[in-house]
Amino acid sequence: MDPSGGCPHAANARLLSRGSVAPVVLPGDVEGMAVLGHDALREFLAHPDVAKDARHFTALQAGGIADGWPLKTFATVQGMTTADGADHRRLRSLVSKAFTARRVEELRPRIEALTASLLDGLDRAATAGDGVADLRTHFALPLPMGVICELLGVDAEYQDRLHHLSNRIVATDIGPAEAMAANREMVEVLSAVAAARTESPGDDLVSALIAAREADGDRLGPHELIGTLMLTIIAGHETTLNLITNAVRALCTHRDQLALVRSGEASWADVVEETLRWDSPVSYFPFRYPTRDLTLDGTVIPKGTPVLAGYSAAGRDKGAHGPDADRFDLARHGGARHLSLGHGAHYCLGAPLARMESTAALSQLFERFPDLELAVPGEELPRHASFVGNSVQALPVRPHG
């Protein structure tokens, strides 16, 4: 895997031409596997003999993974994404109350108001910048970051730092010292957040998690609390940030598809789902581990191997999505649905929130700025330095054309 990331789609196509499952070399020369084909990934994500707990990670348990390995947090952080069975159900049930359909719907007025305010800011930034502003910085980032922090009860003063640290934690091209420093600082910041909510609880998820821990000490340990906050903040804003960015980039480079939405022939929800399939916000997500030697689509994945879930590859698998899977097409009908929000017990808890944020963002953005266009050709935009996240580092736009 290229630790510097970049556009995954050409490499994905080459790998998919050889099969649905591929051996990969992770940073630090750690041997792993990637599941890329749609049907194989769907089977793998829900397979009873596949675990998330790193006690099944053979090389880690044997001492073969160094401190500072850039992907170590994905394996060792304590929370929903590294738990199985009863532990996973316990942690998920504690967090899920914040993401019910009712709770998400209650957030709609706040999301729409924040969206409108951020569009004012984008307009001001463009006016000050000769008509050009970075949509990612001024709009796609602060919307999901503001919403997830409000939901959690994280004060605004922490938001910029938490985004920077999240970015470092999901990066795959940093050295051991930088990786360890980012994790240490993330724990320090989240410990300060937890201390503030312990001192002054509110109607938020952090306060609820602390109350659950204090009511029954076995419900949520201190490391699980910090791990749960870390995962919720990273997953709760990085993915939606990429989704909004990728959708705007797709529409600006496929004006015919934007015209379908404006004519009523397609909806903003169609844009979100097609973007999730065509340019998944997450490219390769670490890790799952077979608890026995597992044969998947004719390929053996040895017990204890760290496996990447190849969401961006599965989204363009021609075997599942047809010979035109590489085409961004809002009129796409039938065929297999995308897996970009997961499948099985670990299906994304925040999926309804991500969909609401993205549809609100796109509909208001293009209503406010119908002539919005990219200020730099799409193929020239610098990509993320990670094979986990899939997007561009900046999205310069001209809101008024």
Map 317-384 to HEC letters. CHHHHCCCCCCCCCCCCCCCCCCCCCCHHHCCCCHHHHHHHHHHHHHHHHHHCCCCEECCCHHHCCEC
pLDDT tens sequence for the chain (401 residues): 887 788 899 999 999 999 999 999 999 899 999 999 999 999 999 999 999 999 999 999 999 998 889 899 889 988 888 999 998 998 888 888 778 888 888 889 999 999 999 999 999 999 998 999 999 999 999 999 999 888 888 888 888 888 888 878 877 777 888 888 888 888 898 888 888 888 888 888 888 888 876 555 556 677 888 888 888 888 888 899 999 999 999 999 999 999 999 999 999 999 999 999 999 999 999 999 999 999 999 999 999 999 999 999 999 999 999 999 999 999 886 556 899 999 999 999 899 999 999 999 999 999 999 999 999 998 889 888 889 999 999 999 999 98
Alpha carbon of 191 to those of 27, 154, 227, 228, 371: distances in Å?
29, 11, 10, 12, 44
Structure tokens at 12: 């994905």
Closest CA to 232 of 212, 204, 274: 204
- What gap in Å lies between CA 23 and CA 40, rounded to an integer? 14
Alpha carbon of 217 to those of 100, 231, 358: distances in Å?
25, 21, 37
Amino acid at 131: G
- What gap in Å lies between CA 92 and CA 242, rounded to an integer? 24
Cα torsion 281, 82, 61, 340: sign: negative
For residue 129, the SS3 value is coil
- What gap in Å lies between CA 12 and CA 15, rounded to an integer? 5
Question: 0.95 exceeded by the pTM?
Answer: no
Closest CA to 243 of 267, 275, 274, 290: 275
User: What is the β-pairing status of strands 307-310 and 299-301?
Assistant: unpaired
- What gap in Å lies between CA 175 and CA 196, rounded to an integer? 32
- What gap in Å lies between CA 34 and CA 15, rounded to an integer? 10
